[in-house]
Structure 1
Amino acid sequence: MANLAPINAQLPWLLRVVVAALCGALIGYERAIQRKSAGVRTHIVVAFSSALFMIISKYGFYDLLQLKDTAVDPSRIAAQIVSGISFIGAGAILVKKQQVSGLTTAAGIWATAAIGMSIGSGLYFLGILATAFLFIIQMLFHEDNLIDKIIMRIRFNIQIEAVNEHHILQTIEDELKANHVENISVKILYVSDERIIFFVDGVINNNIDENDIIMSLHKYPDIKKISYSSISK
């Protein structure tokens, strides 16, 4: 059997994967607070996969590097796998009515390719442990309950169309404060003699139901339309 990377060398490589996943989780946490489509799970898997791909690129051809007088570039096919599998992952992403789904599935496909490459290049120990680690992450964060416990405060963004009355802005701000919306910011997007459209941004606790806030605003006859805004930060 060809000389493969020893197990004691693969343990520090696994640590790199874990640290990368933790860093991805931190970035994903911030994105989840902002209510973006790619949250904690997606960022963990992408960081995890990237670290694994990098390790394979650097150390996955350990056996070939031991050969003398060999002029080959074994990384060429591996590089094509990384870019090629991205197209398959892109096909798993769906966008419907400004809602994005399938991001974590696409990242998982990318991670699976990295694991397959690690096994194929002879990094059995790293590939098996990476599989177990990814499985735990996917199962742990599959339901939103755990993420909801971690993420305490989230952004609240809506777009409101109302009758242009002098009291309307103050009425809306008072109602939002009564519903425990903090750090309220109101930006006028359109105004005429008859109507006004503005963007409302704030922060709420994750256990507050956004639908209750919207329904409390909808009770005012001067408010004609409320929708989630596509404005992002």
Structure 2
Amino acid sequence: MTNLTPIPMQLDWLLRIIVAAFCGATIGYERAIQRKSAGVRTHIVVAIASALFMIVSKYGFTDLLNMHGIALDPSRIAAQIVTGISFIGAGTILVRQEQISGLTTAAGVWATAAIGMAIGAGMYIIGILSTVFLFVVQTLFHDDFLINKIIMHVRFNIEIEAVNEHNILNTIERELEASHVENVSTKILYVSDDKIIFFVDGVINNNIDENDIIMALRKYPDIKRIRYSRGGK
């Protein structure tokens, strides 16, 4: 019968997972500020899963390898699971009208595979604790309430097509500043005698509705088209 891993070692593994989650949250925080699809929650899930995969790969087969006459590498199975489950997770990622959904679901599928591997390797405590930890993380960050409390400012990017009139850039920059868009910068993408297309980048408070800013710009007849993308460069 397989000997259970000592409790202190199991707790040490849990500490590694918690530290990995903190590191993932740090990376996700930066991505969330840039309004990327994979934010805090997704990075936490991926970090937890990665740590768990590593723990299983490093310690999960010790009992088998210590048996007399064993001359194989059972960890290769774990490697194949990691690769195979990635394809399944990719199938949950959807792109509709430049909006990406399903990233956290894909990461959750990947993390679930890691938990299954841990339990299958006899690492019951770490597998169960990781399940509870992931459940709490997914629940707390599900509606972005806590994230919105932490992240105060986000990127705001729009592409504008307008009539090439005198001072059109200054007019739009003043309107954006009046709408509380900070650190406004513009980059001309195309210009002709009658048309100009330029990219606008700025920072807004996370509580500001981007739709209000866009509607404020629409009142200018010289603006022909506004293309808004949720996310930083």
* Cα offset, 1:230, TM superposition: 8.3
How far apart in 2 are the matches of 1:144 and 1:53? 27
Task: Say if 2:126 is the partner of 1:138.
Answer: no
Secondary structure in 1 matching 2:71: coil
* Cα offset, 1:144, TM superposition: 1.7
Identity of counterpart residues, as a percentage? 75
Report the counterpart of residue 124 of structure 1 in structure 2: 124
Secondary structure in 1 matching 2:155: strand
How far apart in 2 are the matches of 1:51 and 1:187? 42
Report the counterpart of residue 9 of structure 1 in structure 2: 9
Structure 1 residues 10 and 229: CA distance shift in structure 2, 3 A: same
How far apart in 1 are the matches of 2:13 and 2:229? 43
Q: Is the 8 A contact 1:78 1:117 kept in 2?
A: yes
How far apart in 2 are the matches of 1:40 and 1:231? 14
CA RMSD in angstroms comes to 1.2
Larger RCO, structure (CA 8 Å, separation 6 or more) = 2
Q: Is the 8 A contact 2:156 2:231 kept in 1?
A: no
How far apart in 2 are the matches of 1:231 and 1:82? 29
Report the counterpart of residue 49 of structure 2 in structure 1: 49
Deviations 1:180-199 (A, max 9, x none): 11111100000000110000
Amino acid at match of 2:33: I
Q: Is the 8 A contact 1:158 1:200 kept in 2?
A: yes
How many equivalent pairs are there? 233
Structure 1: which 4+ aligned runs deviate by more than 4 Å?
A: 229-232
How far apart in 1 are the matches of 2:88 and 2:203? 37
How far apart in 2 are the matches of 1:158 and 1:27? 25
Structure 1 residues 204 and 90: CA distance shift in structure 2, 3 A: same
How far apart in 2 are the matches of 1:229 and 1:86? 28
Note the residue ranges of structure 1 that are not aligned, 5 or more in a row: none
Deviations 1:19-77 (A, max 9, x none): 00110001001001101110111000011100000000000112113323321211111
How far apart in 1 are the matches of 2:104 and 2:232? 20
Q: Is the 8 A contact 1:31 1:38 kept in 2?
A: yes
Structure 1 residues 10 and 28: CA distance shift in structure 2, 3 A: same
